[in-house]
Chains A and B, each alone.
Chain A
């Protein structure tokens, strides 16, 4: 009884979540991950391939997969879909011209069956730049209200440059995933 209950407790404590960060190139995915992790964001090259960061957040362990967004490597995104608990779609709110591209890529992603159960957090990044679209405007352009009713989603304005909004977004994401997968406590 003693040993068994210890093992059970340990198993319960291993609360891992797999989080996939995607979005067009230049949207700030890597900067967001490094900012959350409290690392230096002053020298970040465009991501060729992917980065993985393991972050302890609350009582959960987040495995964040930051996937490069250049057009050439977008076709490789699907290699990372398996077992994804949370999907973070990052938008450059100041890049008005490519919002169409952004909508198209997001729509394609949401058709993916392997991601159908994943919680979706949309980060409207670069809110600190003057003239950036607000989260409400982005939600309208991306037509988020027309999304499948069963999807859990939320859009949050943020700035990887100042750090604003990032915690709010990730708090919601982790709580939502936790309420689906783990005991609510």
Chain B
């Protein structure tokens, strides 16, 4: 407006005017820019909220939630009523759609759970699980044949597969089990079902896997070299001398035996009247045992020092005496086990000198 109001007589006034003019224009521009950017922000916010509804207010969320819930329930009802006339295929796709909208609803709850009161979250989740249940039962009601055949088929197929697979896998291992005519389906490499025998095996490399001793009666077992894991199951009146085991040893149901074992972990279940000469890196445990006694490892054979070193078992940790009885969770000494008195310990056993298989005591 200053332009119209010109004053030709004063030059200095004019220059002043033009400065003010510039300032004014710049301010107008800044203001309009600010307005524009605000508008844009508002628009982008709006489109954001269209993508994924974020309510930030419990009431608006709950309103929307119950609306969606109602429409899902109506849809399920419709499916139920319509089922007699309509073909099965369209029914199935309808039910699938319902299932999708239920999971959409579930996602919405999850996305907004951070501001909802915990009661509302819980009740919404409950509603969703109810909806799922209803859908499941409707599914079952309307398309029962489908479900039945699915169940029947899988269980039948799986059972036959299991048996076949087991025989396949373990058949290759059965070479190790000599003199054993009937190999059970679930035998792992090891000595099984022997009586009065001396069973000897040497493990060569550190790549050796697991080994099992099961159902042995009055046998002597000598395993030299190191391997990964040892399973012992149902042994009576046996003497078992074993080189270092890198992994763990699991013993179940043994009676009247003597064991010399070295390992990372040793678990003993259901043992009776048995002596254990152990070297263990951790605490050995017993469960449901009676009259078991413990002593330090006394085994030797040619090269045992190297094998023990390879398995980090070359140092005596004293853990053979730190037995945990899972059936005796009290501070006082468990009545189920004790330390073997020194005078009753056997002498150090050197199994590299014992060369008489067939000699049974």
Select one of B132, B214, B312 contacting A42, CB under 8 A: B312
Q: Indicate if the CB atoms of A48 and B209 lie closer than 8 Å.
A: no
Kindly state whether residue B208 has any CB partner on chain A within 8 Å.
yes
B324:A45 contact, CB within 8 angstroms: yes
Contacts of A140 in B (CB 8 A): 158, 161-162, 165
Give min CB distance, A97 to chain B, whole Å. 6
User: Is the beta-carbon distance between A94 and B250 smaller than 8 angstroms?
Assistant: no
Q: Do the beta carbons of A46 and B267 come within 8 Å of each other? A: yes
Q: Using A94-B229, A131-B210 as known contacts, say yes or no to A11 and B132 having CB atoms under 8 A apart.
A: no
Which residues of chain A have C-beta atoms less than 8 A from B17's C-beta? none
Which residues of A sit under 8 angstroms from B187, Cβ to Cβ? 96
Candidates B165, B208, B326; contact of A137 at CB < 8 Å: B165
Knowing A11-B114, A71-B269, the reply to whether A46 touches B324 (Cβ < 8 A) is yes
B126 to chain A, nearest CB (A): 12
A167 within 8 A of B: no
- Asked if A79 is an interface residue, CB under 8 A from chain B, the answer is no
Q: How large is the interface on B (under 10, 10 to 19, 20 to 34, 35 or more residues)?
A: 35 or more
Write out the residue numbers on chain B whose beta carbons fall within 8 Å of the beta carbon of A70: 267, 285, 287, 326
Contact A97 B188 (CB under 8 A): yes
User: Which of A52-60, A104-112, A141-149, A168-176 sits within the interface?
Assistant: A141-149
A12 to B56, CA, bound (A): 13
- Per-residue interface assignment for chain B, residues 177 to 196, with 1 indicating a CB less than 8 Å from any chain A CB and 0 otherwise: 00000000011110000000
Which single member of B113, B250, B282, B326 contacts A44 (CB below 8 Å)? B282
Complex partner residue of A146 from B113, B155, B229, B327, CB under 8 angstroms? B155
Determine whether the beta carbon of B158 is less than 8 Å from that of A146: yes
A143/B155 in contact, CB under 8 A:
yes
Q: Nearest chain-A residue to B147 (Cβ)?
A: A149
Expressed in whole angstroms, the minimum distance between the Cβ of A26 and any Cβ of chain B is 5
Interface residues of chain B: helix, strand, loop or mixed (majority):
mixed
Per-residue CB contact flags for chain B residues 130-166 toward chain A (1 = under 8 Å, else 0) read 0010000000000000000001001100100110011
Instruction: Tell whether A97 pairs with B158 under 8 Å between CB atoms, given A25-B267, A131-B189.
Output: no
- Of the listed residues B155, B233, B248, the one surrounded by the most CB atoms of chain A closer than 10 A to its CB is B248
User: Can you name the residue of chain B whose Cβ is closest to the Cβ of A100?
Assistant: B186
Identify which of A42, A72, A94 contacts B287 (C-beta below 8 A): A72
Q: Are B231 and A95 in contact (CB-based, < 8 A)? A: yes
A42-B281, A44-B282, A143-B155 given; 12 more Cβ-contact pairs under 8 Å: A8-B115, A25-B250, A45-B265, A46-B285, A94-B210, A96-B186, A97-B186, A130-B209, A131-B173, A131-B210, A132-B209, A182-B110
- Which B residues contact A (CB, under 8 angstroms)? 106, 110-111, 113-115, 132, 151, 154-155, 158, 161-162, 165-166, 169-170, 173, 186-189, 207-210, 212, 214, 228-229, 231, 233, 247-248, 250, 264-265, 267, 269, 281-283, 285, 287-288, 312, 324, 326-327, 329
25 cross-chain CB contacts under 8 A? A8-B115, A11-B114, A25-B267, A26-B248, A26-B267, A44-B265, A44-B282, A45-B282, A46-B267, A46-B283, A48-B285, A70-B267, A70-B285, A73-B326, A96-B186, A97-B188, A97-B212, A97-B214, A97-B233, A99-B186, A129-B228, A130-B207, A130-B210, A133-B169, A145-B158
